[in-house]
Structure formats: C-alpha cells, structure tokens
Amino acid sequence: MRVILIDDHALFRVGLQGLLERRGIDVVAAVGDPEEGIRLAAAEKPDLLLIDLRMPKMDGLSVLRHLAREQMALSAVVLTMSPDETDLATALQLGARGYLLKDMEPDELVASLHNILTGNVAVAPGLTSVLAELVKQGHPSSKDDHQWFDSLTPRELEILKHLSEGQSNKVIAQRLEITDGTVKLHVKAVLRKLGVRSRVEAAVMAVENGFRRHDGGTKKTAD
C-alpha cells in the first residue's frame, strides 16, 4: 500500500509516518502543505491520500472539493480529531472513502486503511450510526427488513452488531475468539443475505432497525 499524508501538525505527521512504515505501508510523502500534497498525489498516484481536516491554509474538505472538481481518481481518507456529524457527512458526500479519528488504536487504523483499499468505506468506531441519515438507498425498506434479518444465523447477527459499531475484522475476531478468515466469511454472508454491497450499508441497516447485542447474541429492541 502506498500512501501520501497531508497534515499540518509536524509531530503527528512524523509520528504517523513512522507508525505506518513499521507496519509495511509505503509513505510516499508526508507534507504539511495541502497544495503540495495535491501536486504530489497527482504525480505519484498513491493508493490512499490521508488528509487532516483542520488546516489553516486549506482544510481537508477543501482538498476533497478540489479532488472532485479536477476529477482526480484518488481514494481520499480524512484523518481527524473531529467526531462532528456534519464534518463526517460532508466528507463522505465529497467522496472520501474513509473518516477516521486520530485517537484510534494503531492496529485499528491500519486495518481500516486496508479495508478501504479493498473498496469499502470505513468510519471510526462510534460514528457508524450517523450514516443512517446518509444511506437511504441500496437496501430494502424498513417494512421488509425483518425477513432479511431473519435469514441471518445467530453468529451472523453477532457479526452484524459488531459491524454496526464500526469494528474491524481483526477486532471482531479477537472479541469473538475466532480467526480473521472466519470473520471475513461471515461478513460476506451477511452482505449477501442483506442484499447490500458494503459493510457500511449493513451497519446502517442494523442501526436503523435498533439491533443490539444482548447476552452473547443480537436482538431487536424497541426504542
């Protein structure tokens, strides 16, 4: 994986570069100037472009707007301290493939980047629920959701609950004491049975329908 990092905080930028490189990720460039980052991204065509949200010269949302306006085929990921719902919604609407928080665990962050690289959209744990207002298409209406959830096995329902909390496959595997490969197979089955293409859409369905983990399983609760 090749990435370019744009962040105006030098200490964080250097620290994150080292963290990613220790995990086998090629940091092509790590810069504090968004305009320089855009130029480098256009030339180097990295797999992912990591963008800080709050920058004085040109903020992350402005970078996303520029990428969209210039039709630059880059997978951009916002990496920020802001859990603000408006920032999340705007970033995704502008084409960001991920919205991750700087206080995430390193392994969780790296897992999210790999997940994004496979074509998924990833958000930080705890932010999945706000996507319910963004994702209104691509899955059955609420009226028909029961039969879709009824098709899931107890283990798949448990996996779905963890997905709704924004957890990576590795974290789910650790919590359920199963292998990453087993989690991946369950996730594929969940997506197929729910008729959706991404784990984000599956998570939104769970949040919208009030599914919550209870006593080792998952049930629907009335709000």
- What pLDDT, on the 0 to 100 scale, is given for residue 215? 38
- pLDDT, mean over the chain: 81
What is the DSSP-derived secondary structure letter of residue 142? G
CA–CA distance from 151 to each of 16, 58, 124, 187 (Å)? 42, 48, 28, 14
- What pLDDT, on the 0 to 100 scale, is given for residue 134? 56
Nearest to 168 by CA among 84, 107, 85, 223: 107
**How far apart, in whole angstroms, are the C-alpha atoms of residue 214 and residue 70?**
48
- What pLDDT, on the 0 to 100 scale, is given for residue 29? 96
Q: Give the pair of three-digit tokens for residue 203.
A: 């998570």
- Whether pTM > 0.75 for this model: the answer is no
Length of the chain: 223
Strand ordering across the sheet containing 2-6: 26-31, 2-6, 48-51, 76-80, 98-101, 122-123
- What pLDDT, on the 0 to 100 scale, is given for residue 189? 87
Q: What are the chain's domains? A: 2-124 (3.40.50.2300), 133-220 (1.10.10.10)
Nearest to 160 by CA among 210, 114, 110, 119: 210
Nearest to 139 by CA among 149, 153, 150: 149
Specify the 3-state DSSP secondary structure of 203: helix
- What pLDDT, on the 0 to 100 scale, is given for residue 210? 66
The pLDDT of residue 135 is above 90: no
| b/e code 182-202 from CB counts within 10 Å (16+ = b) | ebeebbebbbebbebebbbbb
Q: Are 87 and 69 in contact (CB under 8 A)?
A: no
Read off the pLDDT of residues 21-74 as tens digits, 9 standing for 90 and up. 999 999 999 999 999 999 999 999 999 999 999 998 899 999 999 988 888 878
Report residue 94's pLDDT band, with 50, 70 and 90 as the boundaries. confident
Read off the pLDDT of residues 155-202 as tens digits, 9 standing for 90 and up. 998 998 888 777 788 888 999 999 988 998 998 888 888 777 677 777
**How far apart, in whole angstroms, are the C-alpha atoms of residue 111 and residue 36?**
27
Helix (H) or strand (E) holding 218: strand 217-220
Long-range contacts of residues 103-107, Cβ cutoff 8 Å, at least 24 apart: 106/19, 106/23, 107/170
**Going by C-beta distance under 8 Å and a sequence separation of 6 or more, which residues neighbour residue 112?**
98, 100, 104, 122, 124, 168
What is the bridge-based pairing of β-strands 98-101 and 122-123?
parallel
Q: Which of 86-95, 126-135, 156-165, 210-219 has the lowest mean pLDDT?
A: 210-219
